[in-house]
């Protein structure tokens, strides 16, 4: 009898386990199409709150979030910090300029000693401009004129700071030749309005809120990077390319300005699964209209443009599959 009771109990337990496979709790793990839902609580690093990346990144994260896949935006010091924290595993996603992405992947400059081989790109978007914004009375008409001037260079750990350092170096200058201020664009704007800075620098998609803030108090001029200066930079830093900024970009501009452009790259790492990356991109492009409305720099974003830019680092396999399935790669 005891053996019979034990047998019956075992059968009942087995039946209950089978039944659990059909409970509502397990159904929650399935997507609308009946396939397993992609899960994850991911974090994306962007930039300072007075720049372009933080508000744009917030909209992107909202578009990427669906079901059990949640992507949260975080402000950060910028591209260098974002790459470092992706490689360290502190963040899952991040934004960086193509130059910083390449330096991180190749363990160059500020990334020496950090293995960047796991870095992967998901998309290229939001062309940025090298924005060198001076007080109109500062006598700054080109990079060479920065010698002896008080220059906002971007926060430590930002792509801005690395970029302006390289731009100065190519022109035969260094921080020894300027009065550098290593602070965010928001802090630069405050110092600029107080006339403690002659010029601000940010690599970002214009218009940028920090520049708008500064221009609300003082007459500004966009210092061009053109001609021989532009040629020298592009020869040394091929991720930059000549670009024309329309006069309508800021109210203080009276004519189009020649400067240098640089692609923004959405980055992750090999720690992200192919399924997660595929879902991130699919969710975002399902909500493309919301992203396009977030900033003028992404108004023309398409599937084709997202996978046709200079990625600087290898595409994640999940991104490759997504673009191939959409017929654009």
* CA quadruple 75, 77, 83, 87: dihedral sign: negative
Condensed to tens digits (0 to 9), the pLDDT of residues 204-220 reads: 899 999 999 999 999 99
Helix (H) / strand (E) element for 243: namely strand 241-245
Question: Is 2 exposed, middle or buried, given 0-12, 13-18 or 19+ CB atoms closer than 10 A?
Answer: exposed
The residue ranges of every structural domain in the chain are 40-127+264-325, 128-262
**Rounded average pLDDT over 275-302:** 96
Cα first-last separation, the chain: 68
Instruction: Categorize the per-residue pLDDT at 311 as very low, low, confident or very high, splitting at 50, 70 and 90.
Output: confident
Total residue count of the chain as it appears in this document: 329
Fold of 128-262: D-Maltodextrin-Binding Protein; domain 2 (3.40.190)
SS3 224: coil
From 86-90, 184-188, 257-261, the region with the lowest mean pLDDT = 184-188
Q: State the Cα–Cα distance between residues 97 and 103, nearest whole angstrom.
A: 10
pTM reported for the whole predicted model: 0.81
Mean of the per-residue pLDDT values for the chain? Answer: 89
Name residue 129's beta-bridge partners: 204, 261
pLDDT band at 2 (very low <50, low <70, confident <90, very high): very low
DSSP letter assigned to residue 262: E
Convert the pLDDT of each residue in 66-116 to its tens digit. Answer: 999 999 999 998 999 999 999 999 999 999 999 999 999 999 999 999 999
One of 1.10.1740.10, 3.40.190.10, 3.90.380.10, 3.40.50.720 is the CATH number of 40-127+264-325, namely 3.40.190.10
Does the fold of domain 128-262 match that of domain 40-127+264-325?
yes
């Amino acid at each position: 009898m005891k053996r019979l009771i034990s047998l019956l109990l075992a059968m009942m337990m087995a039946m209950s386990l089978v039944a659990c496979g059909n409970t509502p709790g397990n159904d929650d793990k399935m997507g609308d199409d009946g396939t397993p839902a992609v899960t994850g609580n991911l974090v994306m690093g962007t930039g300072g709150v007075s720049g372009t990346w933080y508000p744009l990144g917030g909209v992107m994260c909202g578009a990427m979030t669906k079901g059990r896949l949640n992507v949260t935006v975080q402000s950060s010091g910028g591209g260098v910090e974002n790459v470092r924290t992706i490689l360290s595993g502190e963040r899952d996603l991040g934004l960086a300029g193509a130059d910083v992405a390449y330096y991180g992947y190749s363990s160059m400059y500020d990334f020496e000693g950090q293995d960047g081989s796991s870095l992967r790109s998901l998309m290229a978007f939001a062309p940025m401009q090298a924005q060198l914004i001076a007080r109109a009375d500062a006598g700054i008409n080109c990079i060479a004129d920065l010698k002896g001037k008080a220059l906002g260079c971007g926060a430590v750990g930002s792509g801005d700071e690395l970029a302006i350092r390289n731009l100065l170096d190519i022109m035969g200058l260094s921080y020894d030749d300027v009065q550098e201020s290593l602070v965010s664009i928001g802090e630069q704007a405050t110092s600029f309005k107080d006339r403690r800075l002659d010029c601000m620098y940010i690599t970002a998609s214009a218009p940028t809120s920090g520049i708008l803030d500064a221009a609300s108090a003082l007459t500004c001029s966009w210092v061009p990077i053109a001609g021989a200066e532009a040629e020298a930079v592009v020869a040394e830093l091929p991720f930059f390319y000549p670009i024309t900024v329309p006069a309508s970009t800021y109210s203080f501009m009276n004519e189009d300005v020649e400067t240098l452009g640089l692609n923004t790259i959405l980055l992750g790492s090999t720690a992200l699964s192919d399924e997660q990356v595929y879902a991130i991109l699919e969710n975002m492009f399902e909500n493309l209209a919301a992203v396009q409305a977030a900033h003028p720099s992404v108004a023309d974003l398409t599937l084709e443009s997202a996978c046709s830019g200079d990625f600087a680092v290898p595409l994640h396999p999940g991104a490759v599959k997504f673009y191939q399935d959409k017929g654009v790669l």
